[in-house]
């Protein structure tokens, strides 16, 4: 279908089909026009029959079929949402119906109403609904992280639970080592119990890291995803400082430190990001429910471990899972870089406390969004 740009409101350009007069909106354009959380109050997911294909495909993703949505008060209006990218297709006239359902003064482009309905006929049969989970609606979004942290704390209270938590945390640990290498423009390959990295910096690796970060910066800025844009900006700044302003000897120390840091930083970030949308097409709205479970276990295990180590340095994880005792991260930090055991325990414990503080702030903001959303719902005029 031939699509051309149309400015639906200042700064928001949507795609308009010159033939059928339909509109296509990206996920960030939907947020700009209807606001976060309000779309679900104006639409309902249309049940589908098992095995039946939807007669509409996403103009952006080409192949993925789109989920039909029913606009409240306008059952014949053609409205579909892509299950992959979250974009929405509005048939000719459906934008007017959606604006009325939202009870808001949305800017409406001058579209000629169709003479033939664009809505496909849907067969009847066993119901199978497809929907995208919300970040700022639903009680489950508020209780998930606290409940998982409490369960993780209970798991880490026993020896068997601590062993399981250690195994769950190993990918975060090795990813931390790899991230420390990548941020210093070194080639690194994380493995289950060991991370292989080069001691020398690589211009090629630096270009790859810069390219990946630039791609994320561009897309998160275009999508107006402030949380992810801010997060990637911080990582980009860290990459620049560590690569160009820090000595190679110092960056090697941070590569070793970043193993245990990964258990706190990466796990804590997933727990915080649970309340915020990720970049488009990554389907973070679904995968966050999978990632938050190991993240809660890993973060709780690391925090309780360093809390115990702050009073008893024998609890520090000395040695190495692969190689000799002297190859362990903590052993190398003490022997090569002059750290003391209490300093290591205090450093990681303070990082854990910072993570708890950031998580509390993100959770408070999530509660605030939910309360504000309910207020807007209660103040909106009834049908």
**What is the average per-residue pLDDT within 34-41?**
62
301 and 365 inside one domain: yes
Give the pLDDT band (50/70/90) at residue 382: very low
Rounded Cα distance, 317 and 331, in Å: 9
Last residue of a domain, one of 102, 128, 154: 128
pLDDT of residue 138 exceeding 80 = no
157 and 104 inside one domain: no
Does 204 map to a domain? Answer: yes
100 and 182 inside one domain: no
Rounded Cα distance, 93 and 20, in Å: 10
Percent of the chain with pLDDT over 70: 76
Q: What is the dihedral of CA 289, 290, 293, 296, to 10 degrees?
A: -70
**Is there a contact between 118 and 92 (Cβ–Cβ < 8 Å)?**
yes
Does 133 map to a domain? Answer: no
H or E, element range at 89: strand 88-90
202 and 291 inside one domain: yes
CA distances from 307 to 12, 332, 344, 349, 359 (A): 49, 21, 11, 6, 18
What lies within 8 Å, CB to CB, of 147 at 6+ separation is none
Last residue of a domain, one of 94, 128, 162: 128
Secondary structure (3-state) at 277: coil
**Which tokens go with 361?**
């702030």
Does 336 map to a domain? Answer: yes
Last residue of a domain, one of 108, 128, 148: 128
275 and 172 inside one domain: yes
H or E, element range at 67: strand 66-71
179 and 109 inside one domain: no
pTM, two decimals, is 0.66
> 172-202 pLDDT, tens per residue?
999 999 999 999 999 999 988 888 888 888 9
Does 135 map to a domain? Answer: no
115 and 153 inside one domain: no
Does 14 map to a domain? Answer: yes
pLDDT of residue 55 exceeding 70 = no
Does 134 map to a domain? Answer: no
What lies within 8 Å, CB to CB, of 89 at 6+ separation is 22, 23, 24, 56, 58, 59, 66, 78, 79, 80, 81, 82
Closest C-alpha to 138, from 27, 21, 285, 250:
285
> 355-370 pLDDT, tens per residue?
999 999 999 998 888 7
pLDDT of residue 63: 60
- The DSSP bridge pattern shows strands 188-190 and 127-128 to be unpaired
**Which tokens go with 104?**
């808001």
H or E, element range at 232: helix 226-244
54 and 158 inside one domain: no
Domain count, the chain: 2
**Is there a contact between 81 and 107 (Cβ–Cβ < 8 Å)?**
no
> 94-112 pLDDT, tens per residue?
877 777 777 644 444 444 4
CA distances from 295 to 145, 152, 288, 343 (A): 10, 10, 10, 25
H or E, element range at 14: strand 12-17
- Taking all residues of the chain, what is their mean pLDDT, rounded to a whole number? 80
Enclosing domain of residue 16: 3-128
pLDDT of residue 30: 73
32 and 146 inside one domain: no
Other Cβ atoms less than 10 A from the Cβ of 155: the count is 18
Does 349 map to a domain? Answer: yes
63 and 151 inside one domain: no
58 and 188 inside one domain: no
The residues pairing with 4 across neighbouring beta strands, listed in sequence order, are: 16
For 62, counting Cβ atoms within 10 Å of its Cβ (0-12 exposed, 13-18 middle, 19+ buried), the class is exposed
Rounded Cα distance, 33 and 107, in Å: 8
217 and 111 inside one domain: no
90-99, 120-129, 243-252: range with highest mean pLDDT: 243-252
Give the pLDDT band (50/70/90) at residue 122: very low
Q: Which of 44-53, 76-85, 93-102 has the lowest mean pLDDT?
A: 44-53
């Amino acid at each position: 279908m031939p699509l051309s740009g149309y400015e639906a409101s200042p700064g928001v350009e949507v795609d308009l089909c010159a033939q059928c007069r339909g509109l296509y909106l990206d996920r960030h354009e939907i947020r700009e026009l209807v606001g976060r959380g309000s779309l679900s109050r104006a639409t309902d997911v249309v049940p589908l029959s098992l095995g039946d294909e939807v007669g509409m495909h996403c103009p952006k993703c080409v192949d993925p079929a789109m989920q039909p949505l029913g606009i409240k008060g306008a059952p014949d209006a053609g409205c579909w949402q892509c299950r992959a990218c979250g974009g929405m297709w509005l048939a000719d006239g459906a934008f007017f119906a959606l604006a009325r359902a939202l009870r808001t003064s949305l800017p409406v482009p001058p579209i000629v109403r169709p003479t033939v309905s664009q809505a496909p006929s849907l067969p009847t049969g066993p119901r199978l609904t497809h929907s995208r989970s919300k970040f700022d609606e639903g009680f489950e979004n508020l209780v998930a992280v606290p409940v998982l942290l409490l369960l993780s704390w209970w798991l880490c209270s026993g020896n068997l639970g601590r062993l399981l938590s250690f195994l769950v945390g190993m990918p975060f640990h090795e990813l931390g080592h790899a991230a420390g290498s990548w941020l210093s423009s070194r080639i690194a390959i994380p493995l289950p119990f060991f991370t292989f990295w080069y001691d020398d910096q690589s211009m090629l690796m630096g270009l790859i890291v810069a390219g990946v970060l630039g791609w994320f910066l561009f897309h998160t800025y275009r999508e107006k995803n402030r949380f992810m844009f801010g997060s990637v900006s911080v990582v980009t700044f860290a990459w620049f400082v560590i690569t160009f302003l820090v000595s190679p000897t110092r960056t090697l120390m941070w590569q070793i430190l970043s193993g245990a840091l990964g258990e706190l930083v990466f796990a804590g970030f997933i727990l915080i990001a649970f309340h915020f949308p990720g970049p488009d097409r990554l389907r973070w709205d679904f995968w966050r429910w999978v990632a938050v479970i190991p993240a809660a276990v890993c973060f709780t295990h690391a925090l309780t471990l360093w809390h115990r180590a702050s009073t008893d340095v024998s609890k520090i994880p000395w040695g190495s899972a692969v190689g000799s005792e002297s190859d362990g991260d903590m052993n190398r930090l003490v022997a090569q870089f002059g750290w003391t055991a209490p300093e290591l325990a205090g450093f990681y414990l303070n990082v854990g406390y910072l993570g708890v503080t950031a998580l509390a702030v993100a959770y408070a903001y999530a509660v605030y969004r939910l309360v504000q959303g309910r207020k807007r719902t209660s103040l909106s005029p009834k049908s």
